[in-house]
Amino acid sequence: MVFETKNKISPNINDYNIDSIRDDFPALSLECNGYPLSFLDSGASAQKPSKVLERMDHAYRNEYANVHRGAYTLSQQATDNYENARKTVADFMNAKSSDEIIFTRNVTSAINLVAHSYGRNFLKAGDEVVISHMEHHANIVPWQLLRDAVGIELKIAPIDDAGNFLLDDFEKILGPKTKLVAITHVSNVLGTIVPIKKIVQLAKTVDAKVLIDGCQGIVHEGVDVQSLDADFYAFTGHKLYGPSGIGVLWGKLDLLNAMPPYEGGGDMIEIVTFEKSTFRDAPARFEAGTPPIIEAVGLAAAIDYITSIGVNNIATHENHMLEYATSCLAEIDGLRIIGNADKKIGIISFELDDIHPHDISTIIDSKGVAVRAGHHCAQPLMERYGVPATTRASFGMYTSEGDIDQLADALKYAKGIFG
């Protein structure tokens, strides 16, 4: 399931020039401990192309003022940039309207927004919220806080040992009490692509709302929110080759406008008196205070860059890298990959003998390889697999076979030290 962005021409995969793409990312020419940097932690945060950095620099130097406030030219320019960025995001997700796009700090704040504003006002004691066993803490803890506040029940949709989402079991969990399903599009630990379209269809049969954590999914698959027909879709800018400090909550407009504000302050109000305030419609209603102005400009530049290369082409490239890496790692004795779902993206979590993941990552860092070690903000998932932590290599649009060869060599070196 890979979506084309509407009205945008996607270049042919044969034009995918990995060398020239790598040249677009300044950080990829860094050296690390005397080796070329092999950056395999894009799942935690992606590097930024020059186009994003230059666009943000230009906006800070030439187009900077606060937005939605001044009538002067510079403020209007900044406001236009900010609102055009919203339009770019809306088009990228195929949203019906830019009004459905709310800029937040990251996906965490987007999910908390829904848990507070929707959860505390539309859900009551005994209602059920369904999440999966492979959620990031950002899609677990807000629902636990909601459980403590209003008494909802949290239900966990299971996965199999390979990391596949179990649709049949999910269906059995659904019932008249299910009011909200909050599931990740793609697992940040296992790489599993979750069948979100089927999940939405099943959730509709019991009239439950659906929130998708699209943090990894939008990067590797894209999304068409109209065709998906969920109620909320959230993602974070820094994993989509954009800046940190900005996230997006997409929601159906009627629903957003029925929800009360989450934070109060400037920009989100119509009229304020000491007795009472009235609130603007979405998106302003949910953007109290000065928003991430330049971050929005950077995110739009990142989306333009991705679109110029083509989400499908990027996905195809990353699939090649996943296959290549899976076969390289399979040659290493004692390496066990955790997460072998039928459909997955370029994320590989693994164990190597009984070497602690922190030791692995420290040793291979000395060879210039950057990977993640730890619980990846998914402790219940670690428990599911009976491990305290894993080492995780995650790929991006710029990952090369050279990066993966360097990883494999460094892992053999680590094995040598402990073996």
Ligand X SMILES: *Cc1c(COP(=O)(O)O)cnc(C)c1O
When computed from its CA atoms, the radius of gyration of the chain, rounded to whole angstroms, is: 22
Q: How far is the CB of 217 from ligand X (least distance, A)?
A: 8
Q: How far is the CB of 196 from ligand X (least distance, A)?
A: 12
With CB under 6 A, what is the number of residues at the site for ligand X?
A: 13
> Strand, coil or helix: what is 278?
strand
For residues 286 and 249, the answer to whether their CB atoms sit within 8 Å is yes
Rounded-to-integer distance, Cα 114 and Cα 280, Å: 17
Side chain identity, residue 146 = L
Residue 136 binds ligand X, judged by CB under 6 A: yes
Q: How far is the CB of 244 from ligand X (least distance, A)?
A: 8
Count of alpha carbons within 13 angstroms of residue 191, beta-carbon side: 27
User: Among residues 188 and 312, whose Cβ is nearest to ligand X?
Assistant: 188
Q: How far is the CB of 235 from ligand X (least distance, A)?
A: 8
Of 32, 215, 328, 377, which residue is the catalytic one?
Answer: 377
Rounded-to-integer distance, Cα 399 and Cα 38, Å: 8
Reply yes or no on whether 377 is catalytic.
yes
Residue 132 binds ligand X, judged by CB under 6 A: no
Closest listed residue to residue 146, CA positions, set 102, 188, 111: 111
Angle between helices 311-330 and 293-309 (to 10 degrees): 80
Rounded-to-integer distance, Cα 42 and Cα 373, Å: 13
Compute φ and ψ for 386, nearest 5 degrees. Answer: 65, 30
CB under 6 A: which stretch of 79-87, 101-109, 340-348, 365-373 binds ligand X?
Answer: 101-109
Q: Which of 38, 47, 216, 313 binds ligand X (CB under 6 A)?
A: 216
CB under 6 A: which stretch of 197-205, 212-220, 224-232, 367-375 binds ligand X?
Answer: 212-220
Rounded to the nearest angstrom, the gap between the alpha carbon of residue 44 and the centroid of all alpha carbons in its chain is 9
User: Among residues 78 and 225, whose Cβ is nearest to ligand X?
Assistant: 225
What string marks each residue from 317 to 356 as x (binds ligand X by CB under 6 A) or -? ----------------------------------------
Q: How far is the CB of 143 from ligand X (least distance, A)?
A: 13
Q: Which of 5, 47, 117, 184 binds ligand X (CB under 6 A)?
A: 184
Q: How far is the CB of 130 from ligand X (least distance, A)?
A: 16
> Strand, coil or helix: what is 149?
helix
Residue 215 binds ligand X, judged by CB under 6 A: yes
Closest listed residue to residue 238, CA positions, set 218, 252, 255, 221: 218
For residues 172 and 205, the answer to whether their CB atoms sit within 8 Å is no
For residues 194 and 165, the answer to whether their CB atoms sit within 8 Å is yes
User: Among residues 104 and 406, whose Cβ is nearest to ligand X?
Assistant: 104
User: Among residues 130 and 363, whose Cβ is nearest to ligand X?
Assistant: 130
Residue 112 binds ligand X, judged by CB under 6 A: no
349, β-bridge pairs: 338, 392
Interacting positions 234-253 with ligand X (CB under 6 A)? 236, 239
* DSSP annotation string for 404-417: HHHHHHHHHHHHHH
Q: Which of 37, 95, 102, 107 binds ligand X (CB under 6 A)?
A: 107
| Token representation of residue 157 | 């949709």
Closest listed residue to residue 192, CA positions, set 338, 79, 331: 338
Residue 42 binds ligand X, judged by CB under 6 A: no
CB under 6 A: which stretch of 4-12, 85-93, 135-143, 171-179 binds ligand X?
Answer: 135-143
Residue 138 binds ligand X, judged by CB under 6 A: yes
Q: Which of 47, 108, 312, 349 binds ligand X (CB under 6 A)?
A: 108
Point out the residues that are catalytic: 377
Residues forming contacts to ligand X in the complex (CB under 6 A) are: 106-108, 136, 138-139, 184, 188, 213, 215-216, 236, 239
